[in-house]
Amino acid sequence: MTAPQIQSPRKAAIIGGGVIGGGWAARFLLNGWDVAVFDPDPQAERRVGEVIANARAALPALSDTGLPPEGRLSFASTLAEAVTGADYVQESVSERLDLKHRVLAEIQAASDAPIGSSTSGFKPSELQQGARAPGRIFVAHPFNPVYLLPLVELVPSAATPPDEVAQVQALLRDIGMFPLLVRKEIDAHIGDRLLEALWREALWLVHDGIATTEEIDDVIRFSFGLRWAQMGLFETYRIAGGEAGMRHFMAQFGPALAWPWSKLTDTPPFTEALVDRIASQSDAQSGHHSIRDLERIRDDNLVAFLRALKDRDWGAGRILNAHDQLLAERDVQNATQHVANETELVVLPSWIDYNGHMTESRYLFAGSQTVDQFLASIGAGLDYVRDGHSYYTAETHLRHLAEARAGDRITGRVQVLGHDDKRLHLWISLVRPGPDGETEIATLEQMLLHVDMAAGRTCPAGASVLAQLAARAASDAARPRPAAAGRHVGAGRPLPQPEGAA
């Protein structure tokens, strides 16, 4: 059978290397795309590099399958150089329509690739004015940090062909994002309109001396912000309506919309005094942290929130699980050779102890996952267990040989050392691949007993399982027996015995 062809990495061009452009670069790069960045600012390479460094520390912690090999990052000296050969272009320059028109025209003079704009407020029809190929320009508005938050508001205009929209949606899902199609053009799309309403009200609360910046943030992060993170607005209010649901909630609180509870779209006078008050309060609240420190704190918290949602396959966690499934399927499709009885694992943040590396119980877990896959390969998997039989671990000897840290990829391998109809003696090696070869981080030697689960006692394994096990044992007999097999705890130079010890 001919092995599937592995596609060459696709190329994304990022025009504008600020916070959003850097986030886009990180999102594409860490999902295996080659990325070319153009920004004439001499500090752009440093800024983008710092954003990507933060992304490397955070994004892999959200994947249980491991991200694909990182693409190649380059910084182009001209815009034309950046977009040449690109499969996709993301424009993230300053929010000035005249500037965006000039940049978009320059992009289309050198590339026919689809162009997404990170604009927070402009409609796609405004961006497309005077364009050579207006249908290839659309809004792709993300939220910061782009490399962690999955939502991107995808806003086409009437000039954008439906098949173009579908292709871009697929492209964005490929890098783990959730492309929300905004079906009707509107200034500031959906997300920023909601944020703007809250922002205006917050400015009034500070302006009128009712609350400080920290007090307002406390209200959000200790109450409805937690609800919004996993249920949004309408689903939250549906619950607030009790058993009668949303209709009851609307009937109960609808009249309050006519009361003067908020300033709505009115804004306080934007004076120097108001700016100074907000800036000084913000300095008092957060000034003891650098911006990079705050970004890392934010990212660590987001990873923890998102992983909790992922474990429950809810909200944004469902997007992450779907992306893991996509990556796993792609690994199978792109594999040039299937290595039997190898288990691939990623060290997750929850596996890390107070010393900053993988905790002891997770070495046992990784070994258990490896053995489970081995048992499935010889016909003793979950179907076999459901029929009432299983292999139970009777004894394990674990050796710690090297540290593993969050984001490391681990390969587990099994070697059969011996077996009979009721017993199975295994050697498990956990290795960490690296650029200079593999590092063995741990070994586990195990004795397993075959059990009739209903009777609660050992019994001979099924004939089919024993036949497959015998074939595997015969294959493994050609491999060298591990030198440490049979080693007991403390084998080597004897330790002094306590006085009076027998």
Q: What count of Cα atoms within 13 Å lies in the side-chain half-sphere of residue 9?
A: 19
**What size, in residues, is the chain?**
502
What is the distance in angstroms between the CA of the first residue and the CA of the last residue of the chain? 64
In three state form, how does the secondary structure of 68-105 look?
CCCCCEEECCCHHHHHCCCCEEEECCCCCHHHHHHHHH
The C-alpha atoms of residue 294 and residue 150 are separated, in whole angstroms, by 20
Vertex 409, ends 491 and 404: CA angle to 5°? 45
The C-alpha atoms of residue 493 and residue 432 are separated, in whole angstroms, by 28
21 is in an annotated binding site: yes
14 is in an annotated binding site: no
* SS3 assignment, position 38: strand
The C-alpha atoms of residue 468 and residue 463 are separated, in whole angstroms, by 9
16 is in an annotated binding site: yes
176 is in an annotated binding site: no
User: The tokens 């993988």 sit on which residue?
Assistant: 358
490 is in an annotated binding site: no
Report residue 118 as tokens: 């990170």
Angle subtended by helix axes 316-334 and 291-311, to nearest 10: 80
- Torsion sign, CA atoms 412, 415, 421, 423: negative
Residue-by-residue DSSP string for 104-145: HHHHHHH--S-EEE--SS--HHHHTTT-SSGGGEEEEEE-SS
What are the respective helix, strand and coil percentages of the chain, to the nearest 5?
Answer: 45, 20, 35
Residue 396 Rama label (left phi>0; alpha psi -120 to 50; beta): beta
* SS3 assignment, position 189: coil
Residues 6+ apart with CB under 8 A from 397: 444, 445, 446, 487, 488, 489
The C-alpha atoms of residue 86 and residue 111 are separated, in whole angstroms, by 7
CB 162 within 8 A of CB 73: no
Closest among 1, 2, 59, 65 to 25, alpha carbons compared: 59
Residues 6+ apart with CB under 8 A from 100: 91, 93, 117, 119, 122, 127
Q: Which residues are annotated as a binding site for NAD(+)?
A: 16-21
List residues forming the annotated binding site. Answer: 16-21
